[in-house]
Amino acid sequence: MNLSRPDRRERLDALAAEYALGTMPARARARLARIARADATVARALSGWERRIAALADAVPPVQPSPRVWHGLRVRLGLDGADRGSRWRSLPFWRGLALAGFVAAFALGIALFAPRTERPAESIVVVLAGPDGKPALVASVPPGERALAVKTLAPVAVPAGRALELWMLPGQGAPRSLGVIPHDGVRQLRLDAPPEIALRGIDALAVSLEPAGGSPTGSPTGPVLYSGRLERL
Amino acid sequence: MVASAPADRQARAAALIGRVALADQRAFEELYRLTSSHLYAVALRIVRDRGVAEELLQEAYVAVWHHAASYSADRAQPSTWLTAIVRNRCLDHVRKRELDTVSMTRDEGEGAPELDLPDGGPGPAELLAAGAQAHAVRECVETLEGGSRQAIALAFFQGLSHSELASHLAQPLGTIKSWIRRGLERLKGCLERAQAPR
């Protein structure tokens, strides 16, 4: 049954209402959810009713869930500090940390004293793709340069009054803005330090849709359109 | 997220979801602190079991973590988006359980579901009125006829299905369905006028 046909609008609306209210039986629920994933008209009807009906939920007095829920989430998602309690107290951990520190100091010593010519600067490349996996932009820092070149592979459709903003995603902590980028062509973004420092600890870059001029909050506010892992070559 | 859901709270939640989309763990933790007690209460009313509600709440936040990028502040308020994620998980759960119950243990004393509220909180009818008050759409709820109002309140706040409503309200299935349909149609027209389009 094609629910998005104009003559089925009323039927679709009634089904979407029952879905959002939750009175629909399991099989019909699953079927409608499946159709909505592929059909934007059906998806819109569902979200319209979810919006109307969610307003009623605000009256429910809050109930605090047990701390188990948050703890379980941290473990399931591998978030920071998921097992900090045990790890920070363990002797092997401290031994490991001391050893790692020694190795790092040793490696740094070598790096500092090694002749420059034997350690060519790395080049950095990030291919940013959308949810469909299709590459949309390439960001790169050529060896020895202090700017990030961002190139769009095809013009990106940006709604009027909106802009694309590029973000660095550290392994830990909040995203940091690299600035607004054009929807087409190439843009050089100056880094405020040499790339090995400016991009230290950065795992990935992402592009979000923001109000014109960039995020007013200093953090991404719009949907993420593209992202990609940082490759050091 | 709580009763009055002020605009700055919604704006805060929207900003946090944006950062969660970029895998910001601190934003995720703050979003959890801001929203979990409300979403847990919503889940608890539908599944009526603390352990199950906690499990589904956790799954819902896993989905939030993975799908935050698909949230668009232009299309939905954060509370709408989050409530739908939690409610849909809970409804899927209770509807599937109902399916198993019907097909396997129908005559083993697993009859109508327990209607006791967790912690003896307010009943569905009071909540519907309170929700309406909070959103200045009391007139909308008041225009509903008694049967429609009761059926919609029970369905929404207790997660009852058509057939559970029929047995709970001692009415034929057809009557329940038409009460709900008529009530929802009327609510839609009224809410459309009362709610600012988002």
The type of residue at A60 is V
Nearest CB neighbour to A21, from listed B42, B58, B180:
B180
pLDDT digits (tens, 9 = 90+) for B45-66: 888 889 999 999 999 999 999 9
A66 interfaces chain B, CB cutoff of 8 Å: yes
Sequence-distant (6+) residues with CB within 8 A of A169 are A175, A202, A203, A204, A205, A206, A227, B22, B23
CATH node for A124-232: 2.60.40
pTM of the model: 0.57
Beta strand spans in chain A (E): 124-129, 135-141, 147-152, 162-170, 176-181, 186-190, 202-211, 224-232
Write out chain B residues lying below 8 Å of A76, CB-based.
58, 62
Average of per-residue pLDDT values in chain B: 78
Q: What is the pLDDT of residue A121?
A: 58
Segment 200-229 of chain A within 8 Å of chain B by CB: 206, 208, 217, 219-224, 227
3-class DSSP assignment, residue A128: strand
Q: Where are the domains of chain A?
A: 6-57, 84-118, 124-232
| Residue position matching structure tokens 């509220």 | B117
Write out chain B residues lying below 8 Å of A220, CB-based.
18-19, 21-22
3-class DSSP assignment, residue B95: helix
CA atoms lying within 13 Å on the CB side of residue B84: 22
Write out chain A residues lying below 8 Å of B72, CB-based.
222-223
Structure tokens at B35: 């929203």
Closest CA to B165 of B147, B182, B183: B147
CB atoms within 10 A of CB A131: 12
pLDDT digits (tens, 9 = 90+) for A83-104: 444 444 444 544 555 555 555 5
A18 interfaces chain B, CB cutoff of 8 Å: yes
Question: Residue B14 and residue B3: Cα distance in Å, rounded?
Answer: 18
Answer whether A211's CB lies under 8 Å from A178's CB.
no
Structure tokens at A68: 């188990």
Q: Closest approach of chain A CAs to the CA of B130, in angstroms?
A: 6
Cα dihedral across residues B40, B42, B45, B48: positive or negative: negative
Which burial class, exposed, middle or buried, applies to B143 when counting CB atoms under 10 A from its CB (0-12, 13-18, 19+)?
middle
- The residue of chain A nearest to residue B84, with distances taken between CA atoms, is A50
Answer whether B59's CB lies under 8 Å from B89's CB.
yes
Q: Which residues pair with A231 in a beta bridge?
A: A125
Write out chain B residues lying below 8 Å of A224, CB-based.
21-22, 69
Is it the case that residue A177 has pLDDT exceeding 80? Answer: yes
Question: Residue B40 and residue B57: Cα distance in Å, rounded?
Answer: 6
Write out chain A residues lying below 8 Å of B45, CB-based.
60
User: pLDDT: is A213 or A224 the higher one?
Assistant: A213
Q: Closest approach of chain B CAs to the CA of A27, in angstroms?
A: 8
The type of residue at A84 is R
Question: Residue A131 and residue A224: Cα distance in Å, rounded?
Answer: 9
Q: Which residues pair with A168 in a beta bridge?
A: A176, A205
Closest CA to A181 of A156, A217, A200: A156
Q: Given the DSSP bridges, would you call strands A135-141 and A124-129 parallel, antiparallel or unpaired? A: antiparallel
Check B76 against A47: CB less than 8 A apart.
yes
Question: Residue A115 and residue B167: Cα distance in Å, rounded?
Answer: 84
The two most distant CA atoms of chain A are separated, in Å, by 77
A55 interfaces chain B, CB cutoff of 8 Å: yes
Check B73 against A221: CB less than 8 A apart.
yes
Write out chain A residues lying below 8 Å of B3, CB-based.
58-59, 61
Check A53 against B156: CB less than 8 A apart.
yes
Check B58 against A73: CB less than 8 A apart.
yes
Check B21 against A24: CB less than 8 A apart.
no
Q: Given the DSSP bridges, would you call strands A162-170 and A176-181 parallel, antiparallel or unpaired? A: antiparallel
Interface A:B, Cβ pairs < 8 A? 212
Write out chain A residues lying below 8 Å of B54, CB-based.
65-66, 68-69
Which DSSP string do the residues of B6-35 spell out, in sequence order? -HHHHHHHHHHHHHHTTT-HHHHHHHHHHH
Which burial class, exposed, middle or buried, applies to A34 when counting CB atoms under 10 A from its CB (0-12, 13-18, 19+)?
exposed
pLDDT digits (tens, 9 = 90+) for B72-131: 887 788 988 999 999 999 998 988 876 665 443 333 333 334 434 444 566 666 666 655
End-to-end CA distance of chain B: 16
Q: Closest approach of chain B CAs to the CA of A35, in angstroms?
A: 15
pLDDT bin (cut points 50, 70, 90) of residue B2 is very low
- The residue of chain A nearest to residue B159, with distances taken between CA atoms, is A22
Average of per-residue pLDDT values in chain A: 78
Question: Residue B95 and residue B89: Cα distance in Å, rounded?
Answer: 10
User: pLDDT: is A6 or A197 the higher one?
Assistant: A197
A58 interfaces chain B, CB cutoff of 8 Å: yes
Question: Residue A172 and residue B22: Cα distance in Å, rounded?
Answer: 11
Give the domains, in start order, of chain B with CATH numbers. 1-111 (1.10.1740.10), 113-198 (1.10.10.10)
